[in-house]
Copies of this chain bind each other. A is one copy, B any other.
Amino acid sequence: MNFLQKLRNIQRKHNSLLCIGLDTEVAKVPEFLYAYGDPQFEFNRRIIDATKDIVCAYKLNVAFYESVGEHGWYTVHQTLARIPEEIVTIGDGKRGDIPNSAEKQALLLCEDWEFTGVTVNPYMGKDSIEPFMKRSDQCAFILAVTSNKGAKDLQYLKVQGRPLYEHVVKLAKKWNTKKNVGLVVGATRPAELKRVRSLAPEMPILIPGVGVQRGDLESAVRYGCNTKGELAIINIGRSVIYASNGNDFAEKAREAALKIRNQINTYREKYFR
């Protein structure tokens, strides 16, 4: 099944545009999990089990796993194995390199871990991200407008009168011959999100930055969706997974996730029905 179909199916089945960011830090998980061999996985497992019927995707920023040492590689595998097949998984690594090296990056993310989506950086151009676009059932999400302050340094520079990120969107569309290219636009940039959606009406857009980063949820839904109120993947990380630091953390994470999923759906009703 191609990526777009998979995304549509799960968004409809779970009535959800919510993606939970599993950027799990061992130092932040509840203390009782330290009794387990792999507290990072144990935390993820419980979050997944508590939320897997109300999300369309899970996103793992791979730096949170690489940085714990060799075991992180297993933790990613185990975490992915716990996620039901029908749910989209996004390996957030912002990769891209000369083709010979990008092949190796993709070997890890797309073949070994086998995420259904990955984030890639456009600065090195098409051949630097092509290895991530080989399979039509896997999506390369190209960074367009990021949620951080530094986004302004390059992404807004004017090229032929238009900001650089618009050129990235145009290139992404051109490269999207297999319908497996997506975009990343931060929820902290509602005007830019609106513009990107107008330029790319039917591409999936991964939208991080709601929650701790203070992106606006209503605009993320209003401007991030296609005309059917779909294809936006709204990522929330810390404010869901760390909703509680007690024994009830998974339950509280579910409550937080459910509240956001439902809030998103209220906005979908408002703007797309």
Q: Which residues of B lie under 8 Å from residue A66 when comparing CB positions?
A: 66, 73, 104-105, 108
With an 8 A cutoff between CB atoms, is A254 at the interface? no
Interface residues of A in 83-125 (CB under 8 A from B): 92, 94-102, 104-105, 107-108, 112, 121-125
Minimal Cβ-Cβ distance residue in B for A159: B157
Residue A121 contacts which of B71, B74, B94, B148 (CB distance < 8 angstroms)? B94
Q: Is the CB of B61 within 8 A of A122?
A: no
A241 to chain B, nearest CB (A): 13
Interface flags for A118-161 (1: CB within 8 Å of B; 0: not) read 00011111111100000000000001001111111111011110
Residue A70 contacts which of B61, B71, B104 (CB distance < 8 angstroms)? B71
Instruction: Give A102 to B94 CA distance when docked, in angstroms.
Output: 10
Instruction: Give A104 to B154 CA distance when docked, in angstroms.
Output: 23
- How many copies the complex holds: the figure is 2
Minimal Cβ-Cβ distance residue in B for A150: B125
Q: Which residues of B lie under 8 Å from residue A148 when comparing CB positions?
A: 98-99, 124-125, 127-128
Q: Which residues of B lie under 8 Å from residue A71 when comparing CB positions?
A: 70
Q: Which residues of B lie under 8 Å from residue A155 when comparing CB positions?
A: 123-125
Most buried by B among A98, A125, A128: A98
Q: Is the CB of A159 within 8 A of B164?
A: yes
Instruction: Give A105 to B65 CA distance when docked, in angstroms.
Output: 10
With an 8 A cutoff between CB atoms, is A171 at the interface? yes
Minimal Cβ-Cβ distance residue in B for A94: B97
Instruction: Give A107 to B267 CA distance when docked, in angstroms.
Output: 39
Residue A159 contacts which of B124, B146, B159 (CB distance < 8 angstroms)? B159
Q: Is the CB of B149 within 8 A of A107?
A: no
Residue A61 contacts which of B23, B101, B147, B151 (CB distance < 8 angstroms)? B101
Instruction: Give A143 to B107 CA distance when docked, in angstroms.
Output: 23
Instruction: Give A146 to B97 CA distance when docked, in angstroms.
Output: 9
With an 8 A cutoff between CB atoms, is A37 at the interface? no
Instruction: Give A160 to B160 CA distance when docked, in angstroms.
Output: 9
Beyond the given A126-B149, A128-B146, could you list 16 further A-B residue pairs with CB under 8 A, ordered by the A residue number?
Answer: A23-B100, A61-B104, A63-B104, A66-B66, A66-B73, A73-B73, A123-B146, A123-B154, A125-B153, A127-B150, A129-B150, A154-B167, A154-B168, A157-B159, A159-B159, A164-B164
